[in-house]
Amino acid sequence: MKVLYFLSFCLFGLNVFSQNSTIYDENESRIDSLVLKQIYINSLKNGVDGFRVQIHHDQSQSREESQKVRAKFSQDFPHLKTYLEFKSPYYKIQVGDFITRIEAYKVQKEISQKYRGTYIVPSIVNFELNTGMIE
């Protein structure tokens, strides 16, 4: 009886290992097709869905005053890209291009020591992808 269990276990194990490689080979071209389709969709949006940290917004300030805040921030944090956006009646300054909220949160914690009132906002962010990986 033990021999029968052992033989059935060995035969079942070989069957499982042989199925995994054929499933992957059949689906590989479909996965590549979906990745290329997502890259195309992202190029139409000029980016991907992500997050930025908003450091400033005020309706009473002029563009020049917002530019001063942006320049000071760039001096304090030169490694972060800044974006000045106008949505009537507000000038908004947002920083960074983050794919996940966790990445944005880490930077927000760092920035909030010097700039009070920062918060994370959803945005279309720039994202560089090495398309040489897809063949």
Kindly tell me if the per-residue pLDDT of 22 is higher than 70.
Answer: no
> Among all chains, which residue has been given the structure tokens 């304090």?
76
pTM of the predicted model, to two decimals? 0.64
Strand partners, 125: 48
Write out pLDDT tens, residues 58-105: 776 678 888 888 999 999 999 999 999 888 888 899 999 999 999 999
> What DSSP string runs through 119-135?
EEEEEEE-----GGG--
CB atoms within 10 A of CB 58: 14
- pLDDT number for residue 29: 79
- pLDDT number for residue 57: 82
Q: Over range 45-56, report the average pLDDT.
A: 88
Q: How far apart are CA 47 and CA 97, in angstroms?
A: 10
Q: How far apart are CA 97 and CA 84, in angstroms?
A: 14
Q: Over range 32-36, report the average pLDDT.
A: 87
Torsion angle (degrees, nearest 10) of CA 46, 50, 56, 58:
70
User: What is the pLDDT of the chain when averaged over all its residues?
Assistant: 79
- pLDDT number for residue 130: 44
**Kind and range of the H or E run holding 71:** helix 63-76
| The dihedral sign for the CA sequence 44, 49, 53, 55 | positive
Strand partners, 53: 95, 120
Write out pLDDT tens, residues 104-125: 999 999 999 999 999 999 998 8
